């Protein structure tokens, strides 16, 4: 596989919170057009990895290469305009801004927001269109998650990073969210997905990584991971 | 009745000044959760900068619209630059430090500005030129309204309406609100938080500069340490309206101005400040989020 196919490459990444090492040398890559998932227990370092990739945290060593550029030291707000969008854990919508204003903030890095993208978001997540004038803080958790994803798409990213999009949602809403992610991936956006819902994530993804205590313990295609006994026991809830 | 109406006019005038200064406090607080205690001293600095610009560049005695506009523009730019430097030097290095450190830094920065004003312009009261505005006076019924008052009310209202539209209707204004809600999420939108903070300091300082010039034109006597009292009043106004809330600062300023004017008119000038702080205590006890408060709508 040639390097140019890799949209994102993370090399020997180390991240610490003060004296505590959270990420202890991980390597991963995402090829153009892929959906890649990172699985792992709470505290394994999934969110830290994503926050470092999008520039909110700076690593103590290692490199992050995005679309052929080394972005290890690039500030988060400049990474967005390179074509990376990160929908953070806990949705983090702007509560006192309206739904439409939130979407407009998603397009902040563009000179002018793209009307077609907005229309498309309203098409795949129609609930947002109904609630466009409402304050984001008054939406239900599921609607806020829809908004967080829609907002992340407004910048027309090459790579969409999603951190726990189904966290705390009712099963029926999890379905809606995963369907939307699938539509986004099918439209050509590369997706890096962190999920607690390992089964649903692996069904959607081409490949996956398993993170354990700041290190990658397993990696492989989704089928390999779905069929691996250790993975099944640890993350898919199957007993021997 | 005449006293009452007259005090309404006077109250709205000083209220507009408090509102202009309160906006600087509330905008910085909204974005950084920091009380910029040096803000009042920027207001005092503005009056002195304006005095020097007017007398040195245009020469005393010149009354022309162009000269007045130039004095306002020039002063606003200089004070905005000082405001930006203040943020760079006194607050940015402490962005991640405990909040108390930034408050102490703010108090220290205020003292630095205040003493710099004293060293440059001297410790004695200076008299702001009276001819900056025409001395026209209108007597309507038993009420007296001066040209300066009309200017203060008119320009302050215009600036506040402009600010309201800027914050609520423009992309930059929406970004300012987004940064006030969640800085990390704002960064993920591609918003340069440092630049937004710089814009906040430019706007806040420039509004403070306008207030400082008006204070000079209205009260005439300016002293290097007057920023503390005007700043504290405006701070009370910001708390009253709900700190962090922009319309709240405008409302709080006007209400505090009216309150002050009524105390001055019916009780005594000497007691005005005392009542102001009694009012502050009452607000903090019974409605600490202020009249409009910060909207709390986030659902988890």
Residue A166 CA to residue A199 CA, distance in Å, equals: 12
Distances (CA, A) of A16 to A13, A48, A61: 10, 9, 10
CB-count exposure of residue A62 (10 Å: 0-12, 13-18, 19+): middle
Asked if residue B298 has pLDDT above 50, the reply is no
Asked if residue B95 has pLDDT above 70, the reply is yes
Phi-psi region of A156 (alpha: psi -120 to 50; beta: other; left: phi over 0): left
What values do phi and psi take at A189, rounded to 5?
-85, 130
Q: Check residue A204 and give its pLDDT.
A: 95
Pairwise pLDDT comparison (B113 vs B299), residue with the higher score: B113
Cα Rg of chain A, angstroms:
17
Pairwise pLDDT comparison (B246 vs B66), residue with the higher score: B246
Supply B280's token pair.
Answer: 């502050």
- In this complex, the residue of B175, B189, B299 whose CB is nearest that of residue A137 is B299
- Is A50 in contact with A10 (CB distance < 8 Å)? no
- Is B234 in contact with B35 (CB distance < 8 Å)? no
Pairwise pLDDT comparison (A197 vs A15), residue with the higher score: A15
Query: Which of A48, A93, A33 has the alpha carbon at shortest distance from A215?
Result: A48
A-interface mutation test, from B183, B190, B242, B246, most A Cβ less than 10 A away: B190
A-interface mutation test, from B175, B182, B188, most A Cβ less than 10 A away: B188
Chain B partners of A93 at a C-beta cutoff of 8 Å?
A: 185
Residue B40 CA to residue B173 CA, distance in Å, equals: 24
Residue B113 CA to residue B42 CA, distance in Å, equals: 7
| Chain A to chain B Cβ contacts (< 8 Å) | 85
Q: Check residue B296 and give its pLDDT.
A: 44
Q: Check residue A5 and give its pLDDT.
A: 85
Chain B partners of A140 at a C-beta cutoff of 8 Å?
A: 299
Per-residue pLDDT reduced to its tens digit, A28-80: 999 999 999 999 988 899 999 999 999 999 999 999 999 999 999 999 999 99
Pairwise pLDDT comparison (A216 vs B141), residue with the higher score: A216
| ipTM of the complex, rounded to two decimals | 0.94
- Is B12 in contact with B251 (CB distance < 8 Å)? no
User: Does B189 contact A137 at a Cβ distance shorter than 8 Å?
Assistant: no
- In this complex, the residue of A77, A94, A97 whose CB is nearest that of residue B192 is A77
The helix-helix angle for B39-52 and B193-219 (nearest 10°) equals: 60
- In this complex, the residue of B184, B190, B297 whose CB is nearest that of residue A137 is B297
Asked if residue B58 has pLDDT above 80, the reply is no
Per-residue pLDDT reduced to its tens digit, B208-225: 999 999 999 999 999 999
B245, closest residue in chain A (CA to CA): A96
Lowest-pLDDT range of A129-143, B53-67, B286-300: B286-300
Chain A partners of B300 at a C-beta cutoff of 8 Å?
A: 90
Residue A34 CA to residue B48 CA, distance in Å, equals: 63
Q: Check residue B299 and give its pLDDT.
A: 34
Instruction: Give percent above pLDDT 90 in chain B.
Output: 81
Residue A59 CA to residue B152 CA, distance in Å, equals: 53
Per-residue pLDDT reduced to its tens digit, B9-41: 999 999 999 999 999 999 999 999 999 999 999
Q: Check residue A1 and give its pLDDT.
A: 47
Asked if residue B171 has pLDDT above 50, the reply is yes
Chain B partners of A95 at a C-beta cutoff of 8 Å?
A: 181, 297-299
Q: Looking up tokens 């009056």, which residue turns up? A: B47
Domains of chain A: 3-235 (3.40.50.300)
Q: Check residue A239 and give its pLDDT.
A: 55
- In this complex, the residue of A75, A80, A139 whose CB is nearest that of residue B189 is A80
Instruction: Give percent above pLDDT 90 in chain A.
Output: 88
Supply the pTM of this predicted model: 0.92
Asked if residue B238 has pLDDT above 70, the reply is yes
**Sequence-ordered list of residues with C-beta below 8 angstroms from that of B87, at least 6 positions apart, any chain:** B197, B198, B201
A-interface mutation test, from B31, B96, B185, most A Cβ less than 10 A away: B185
Pairwise pLDDT comparison (A236 vs B155), residue with the higher score: B155
Determine the distance in angstroms separating the CA of B138 from the nearest CA of chain A, rounded to an integer. 44
Q: Looking up tokens 């200076």, which residue turns up? A: B126
A107, closest residue in chain B (CA to CA): B189
**Sequence-ordered list of residues with C-beta below 8 angstroms from that of A19, at least 6 positions apart, any chain:** none
- In this complex, the residue of A104, A141, A155 whose CB is nearest that of residue B299 is A141
Determine the distance in angstroms separating the CA of A78 from the nearest CA of chain B, rounded to an integer. 6
Q: Check residue B297 and give its pLDDT.
A: 39
Chain A partners of B174 at a C-beta cutoff of 8 Å?
A: 97, 101, 104-105
| pLDDT bucket at A3, cuts 50 / 70 / 90 | very low
Chain A partners of B196 at a C-beta cutoff of 8 Å?
A: none
Determine the distance in angstroms separating the CA of A188 from the nearest CA of chain B, rounded to an integer. 21
User: Does B189 contact A81 at a Cβ distance shorter than 8 Å?
Assistant: no
Domains of chain B: 2-286 (1.10.3470)
Residue A219 CA to residue A28 CA, distance in Å, equals: 9
């Amino acid at each position: 596989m040639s390097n140019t196919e890799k949209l994102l490459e993370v090399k020997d990444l180390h991240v610490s919170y003060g004296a505590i090492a959270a990420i202890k040398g991980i390597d991963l890559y995402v090829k153009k057009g892929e959906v890649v998932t990172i699985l792992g227990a709470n505290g394994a370092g999934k969110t830290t990895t994503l926050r470092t990739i999008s520039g909110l945290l700076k690593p103590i060593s290692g490199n992050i290469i995005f679309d052929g550029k080394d972005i290890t030291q690039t500030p988060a707000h400049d990474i967005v305009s390179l074509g990376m969008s990160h929908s953070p854990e806990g949705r983090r919508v702007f509560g006192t801004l309206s739904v439409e204003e939130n979407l407009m903030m998603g397009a902040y890095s563009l000179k002018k927001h793209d009307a077609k993208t907005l229309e498309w978001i309203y098409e795949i997540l129609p609930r947002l269109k109904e609630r466009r004038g409402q304050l984001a803080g008054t939406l239900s958790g599921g609607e806020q998650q829809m908004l967080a994803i829609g907002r992340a798409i407004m910048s027309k990213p090459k790579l969409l990073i999603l951190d726990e999009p189904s966290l705390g949602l009712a099963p029926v809403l999890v379905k809606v969210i995963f369907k939307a992610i699938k539509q986004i991936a099918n439209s050509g956006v590369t997706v890096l997905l962190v999920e607690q819902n390992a089964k649903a994530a692996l069904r959607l993804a081409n490949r996956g990584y398993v993170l354990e205590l700041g290190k990658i313990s397993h990696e492989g295609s989704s089928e390999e991971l779905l069929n691996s006994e250790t993975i099944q026991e640890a993350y898919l809830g199957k007993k021997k | 009745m005449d006293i009452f109406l007259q005090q309404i006019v006077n109250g709205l005038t000083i209220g507009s000044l408090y509102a202009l200064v309160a906006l600087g406090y509330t905008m910085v607080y909204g974005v950084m959760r920091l009380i910029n205690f040096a803000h009042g001293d920027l207001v005092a600095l503005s009056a002195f900068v304006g005095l020097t610009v007017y007398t040195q560049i245009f020469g005393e005695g010149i009354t022309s619209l162009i000269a007045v506009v130039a004095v306002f523009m020039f002063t606003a730019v200089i004070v905005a630059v000082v405001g930006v430097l203040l943020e760079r030097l006194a607050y940015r290095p402490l962005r991640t430090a405990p909040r108390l450190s930034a408050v102490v830094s703010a108090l220290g920065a205020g003292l630095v500005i205040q003493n710099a004003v004293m060293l440059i312009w001297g410790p004695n009261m200076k008299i702001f030129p009276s001819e900056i505005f025409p001395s026209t006076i209108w007597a309507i019924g038993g009420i007296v309204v001066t040209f300066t008052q009309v200017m203060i009310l008119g320009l302050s209202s215009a600036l506040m309406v402009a600010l309201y539209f800027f914050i609520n209707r423009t992309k930059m204004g929406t970004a300012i609100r987004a940064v006030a809600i969640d800085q990390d999420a704002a960064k993920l939108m591609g918003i340069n938080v440092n630049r937004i903070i710089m814009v906040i300091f430019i706007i806040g300082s420039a509004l403070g500069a306008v207030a400082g010039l008006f204070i000079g034109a209205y009260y005439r006597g300016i002293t290097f340490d007057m920023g503390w009292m005007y700043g504290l009043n405006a701070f009370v106004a910001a708390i009253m309206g709900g700190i962090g809330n922009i319309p709240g600062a405008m409302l709080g300023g006007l209400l505090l101005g009216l309150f002050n004017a009524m105390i001055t008119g019916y009780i005594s000038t000497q007691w005005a400040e005392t009542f102001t702080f009694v009012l502050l205590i009452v607000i903090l006890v019974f409605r600490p989020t202020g009249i409009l408060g910060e909207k709390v709508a986030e659902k988890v």
